[in-house]
Amino acid sequence: MADIDSSKDVYLFTHGRADLIEAVAMQSAPSHGIGRVCKVSKEEIIGQLTALIWWAEGDPEERMSEHFRKSQQLNEQLSSLTGISTDVRFPDFSGRPYPTVIITVGATDGRKGTDILNELAGGNPPILAMADPGNTRAVRLDVRLCEDKDIDVIGRRLNEIFRR
């Protein structure tokens, strides 16, 4: 097998043609082309396996309870706002078994879900949420993997947006 990082192998492989040498050079150090950056190291494989084992050994009921707690935490932070409705939807819109916080903008507000998504993404810090495919005035937030402090940041930002 030819080693494209070896000039001898490159010369033999390309028969000394300048166009082929240039093409091979684009795939060697330090560029390594498209395929090389997609390679997975042994450390990444071990990290993924460790995460998978950790996840598989966890208690699914405890994990789901924690997901609901986090979703409810955000839902409660928005409960005092007028002009919107909030709900924790389970399962999510496509039937996946996890809770999602749904925020629906009232008809008198004049904003759409995409306006709220843009305000969240354009804020400091930027917050990424999802559109609700069934309702143009709604946004979806999945906070399952957020820390409590991050949920508080999201809640404060949404309060700022809806109190204007």
Domain boundaries, the chain: 8-57, 61-163
Query: In which band, very low, low, confident or very high, does the pLDDT at 32 lie, cut at 50, 70 and 90?
Result: low
DSSP type of residue 113:
H
Supply the pTM of this predicted model.
Answer: 0.70
CB atoms within 10 A of CB 100: 21
The residue-averaged pLDDT of 134-149 equals 93
Of 135, 134, 129, 136, the residue nearest 161 (C-alpha): 129
* Residue appearing with tokens 């204007």: 164
Render pLDDT for 38-49 as a digit per residue (tens, 0 to 9).
677 889 899 999
Residue 67, phi then psi, degrees to nearest 5: -60, -45
Report the topology of domain 61-163: Aspartate Aminotransferase, domain 1 (3.90.1150)
Quick check: 155 pLDDT over 90?
Answer: yes
**Predicted pLDDT at 50:** 95
Render pLDDT for 99-116 as a digit per residue (tens, 0 to 9).
999 999 988 888 899 999
> Can you list the positions of beta strands (E) in 21-149?
84-89, 100-105, 130-132, 135-141
| 8 Å CB contact between 103 and 78 | yes
